Structure 1
Amino acid sequence: MSTALGSLRRLALAPSLEEVAFRARGFPGATSPDAARLEAVPQAVVCGFEWGIDSRDGWEVARRLRFVDPGLRGFAHEGAVMAFTIRDVAGRGTRVRDLLEGDGAEHLFVAYIGIGFAMARLPRRLWRKVMPDLPGSPYHPAVSWLAVDGYGFDLAYFHTRRWVDEQRVPEPYPWQGRADYFPRAVDQGIGRALWFIHGARGPEVAAAVRRFDPARHADLWSGVGLAATFAGGGTPDELSALAGAAGGHRAELALGAVFAAKARVHAGFVPEHSTIASEMFTGGSPEAAADLVDATAPGREESGPVPPYEVWRSAIRAHFTATRRFVRS
């Protein structure tokens, strides 16, 4: 059930379904055969956001999310978590924590991305309030860097000229006390956005990555791998060609695919496109990729000059570098 205040928040903050469409955003991928399929992703996010920002209680939102197609349900959770984050920060609530400890627990990985979407709409002075405490999760807080990834995706998707065409670099922020890693996590989100901006057209995506400073390529390719595996798009031959275009960054492409596969397996639904991309990028099944994520996960107490999240990513990257299992021929 909606509320008057919720309706006002929705009108003020939520883009329309048309506003997130590729043609409306001026994306070169608007004419891609995969455009309609990929556009359903941000549209599902918008629906989740509208439910989250406008509803009276969390149970109703969780119930609505259950009616979303399993392939899009994670994206709808991103939108709901985005809305809940904004409401929690404004009113000191626990909506995000309650969702992620309850019906939304299986969508934990993508939920962080929704927190990042909220960060893009909140002043930085409030960012210290956005992250809930999730002591029961073995992946928290290491994987909360996906919130910064979500922030980067939002910047690139809605402000493409500044963050993609002009290749701006965001000001560092001490997320988990590691301000130096912040721009790298943002780039991982920008890489994901490139997959959407170019409509899953591999040559155009690869060319877009190459236009950035080479020092940023590794994180951008990681984001591309995550988006291609989780959201889908491209034929097996096109995905194989994309892996070839990644060249020396094939391990980063596989790294992104591994986390996407883990998110799908954790949610209990693995669409066919995720299985195909996982096989093409990692040489194995989504279930094998999920096992690799768990086998390399850092301990909650681990600390040092490198964020545990990047220690985790480095271990996965090293696995592919050592085995050279990237693309299934």
Structure 2
Amino acid sequence: MTMLGTAMRPMFAVTPTDVPVLTTGGGPTTERLSRVVFVVTECCELALTTRHEDTLTARLDAYPEELRGFAYEGAGVGLAALDQLLRWKRRTRRFVDGPAADYLFAVYLGAGMGLARLRLNPESFRRRLGDPVMSWVVLDGYGFHEGFFAHRRHVQERATPPWLSGYARRAFDHGLGRAVWFATGADVQRIQATVDGFPPERRGDLWAGVGLACGYTGGVGEAGVRAIRSLSGAHLPRLAEGVVLAARARHQVGNPGDEVETACRVICGTSSREAAEIAAAALAGLPTDDIEPAYEIWRQRIRSPFMEGPDDQH
């Protein structure tokens, strides 16, 4: 396993030329976003080259608490890649069933990025996870990778991978929205202009992704959060949905932080703890008939308290 992982490391390396937007700016926002990208990369390499699960967990937990979720996301990149190349392995699912249970969302986001890096269709991997609700997060990670590392095709040209269908396309757009936050250097005016360039039926899911990035990664301060709230317009419930998801992910590991607290207060009108409780309560009694993905029903319930009228933008 270690030899294979070592051989795969060059495939997942990220250099400054891969992230031109983040390296041509400056100041605290670009520094923070760049740091997040490289933590994910470092921890992907750890997952590829660390044989034992307990050793990997200890190394991830050594990262500063505020960045630890990104460390687990990076581990998800590497674990999913190994699972795909050694298809009898189930390291990703075993990891989230064990020491990474509280970081499931982050690990699944990373898994989607790993599949995109290998140019693999994520749908079969998602089904292999055997998780009818949260496995859709893999598509979010896939969309983030394509929106960030294949920015021209998927953001500027607004292409969607032709092998994705149905709800997978919407989950892909959640990740694409997060990628817009990073690729614009969290410039709120550019974020709005970019999302507005997409067809109206895609914008709601993109704003939800923007909200998740705003709450979880942040980097714009309170003034920037207020600006993005205003610019979201009729899509404010979708923006709030993403922020609530960020709050749940942070509180699940006992690490809320100032960024998500500000986002929840300004965008949702709640504390981050209250927002996390909204997400947790919305998981109760999800239907399992698969007529509509349970994951989407969960998200609908999350945004419902923030809607003043019908959400006709998905």
Equivalent residue number for residue 14 of structure 2: 16
Cα deviation, residue 30, structure 1: 3.0
| Contact 1:28-1:199 within 8 A present in 2 as well | no
Equivalent residue number for residue 103 of structure 1: 99
Cα deviation, residue 46, structure 1: 0.4
| Contact 2:286-2:298 within 8 A present in 1 as well | no
SS in 2 for 1:34: helix
Equivalent residue number for residue 164 of structure 1: 155
Greater mean deviation of Cα atoms: 223-232 or 265-274: 265-274
| Contact 2:122-2:142 within 8 A present in 1 as well | no
| Contact 2:177-2:208 within 8 A present in 1 as well | yes
Change (3 A) 1:125 1:320: closer
Cα deviation, residue 102, structure 1: 2.1
Is residue 52 of structure 2 the alignment partner of residue 57 of structure 1?
yes
Equivalent residue number for residue 7 of structure 1: 6
| Contact 1:222-1:256 within 8 A present in 2 as well | yes
Distance 2:148 2:202 in 1: 18
Change (3 A) 1:146 1:170: same
Equivalent residue number for residue 43 of structure 1: 38
Alignment-mate amino acid for residue 10 of structure 1: R
Alignment-mate amino acid for residue 61 of structure 1: L
Cα deviation, residue 294, structure 1: 1.6
Q: Percentage identity across aligned positions?
A: 33
Is residue 245 of structure 2 the alignment partner of residue 259 of structure 1?
yes
Change (3 A) 1:33 1:211: farther
Equivalent residue number for residue 283 of structure 1: 269
Cα deviation, residue 304, structure 1: 4.3
SS in 1 for 2:160: coil
Q: Which runs of 4+ in 1 moved over 6 A?
A: none
| Contact 1:29-1:201 within 8 A present in 2 as well | no
Is residue 108 of structure 2 the alignment partner of residue 117 of structure 1?
no
Distance 1:301 1:211 in 2: 35
Is residue 86 of structure 2 the alignment partner of residue 88 of structure 1?
no
Alignment-mate amino acid for residue 137 of structure 2: L
The CA deviation string for residues 228-258 of structure 1, in whole angstroms up to 9 with x for no partner, is 1000111212211211111100000000000
Equivalent pairs counted in the alignment come to 308
Change (3 A) 1:127 1:172: closer
| Contact 1:29-1:196 within 8 A present in 2 as well | no
RMSD in angstroms over aligned alpha carbons? 2.2
TM-score (norm 2): 0.91
Greater mean deviation of Cα atoms: 246-255 or 211-220: 211-220
Distance 1:200 1:123 in 2: 27
The CA deviation string for residues 52-101 of structure 1, in whole angstroms up to 9 with x for no partner, is 11122222211110111111111111111111111122222232122212
Distance 1:158 1:123 in 2: 12
The CA deviation string for residues 87-124 of structure 1, in whole angstroms up to 9 with x for no partner, is 12222223212221222111111111011112213454
Residue 128 (structure 1) aligned to one of 124, 128, 133: 124
SS in 1 for 2:16: coil
Cα deviation, residue 29, structure 1: 7.2
Alignment-mate amino acid for residue 98 of structure 2: G
Give structure 1 stretches of 5+ with no counterpart: 135-139, 174-178, 324-329
Give structure 2 stretches of 5+ with no counterpart: 310-314
Alignment-mate amino acid for residue 64 of structure 1: R
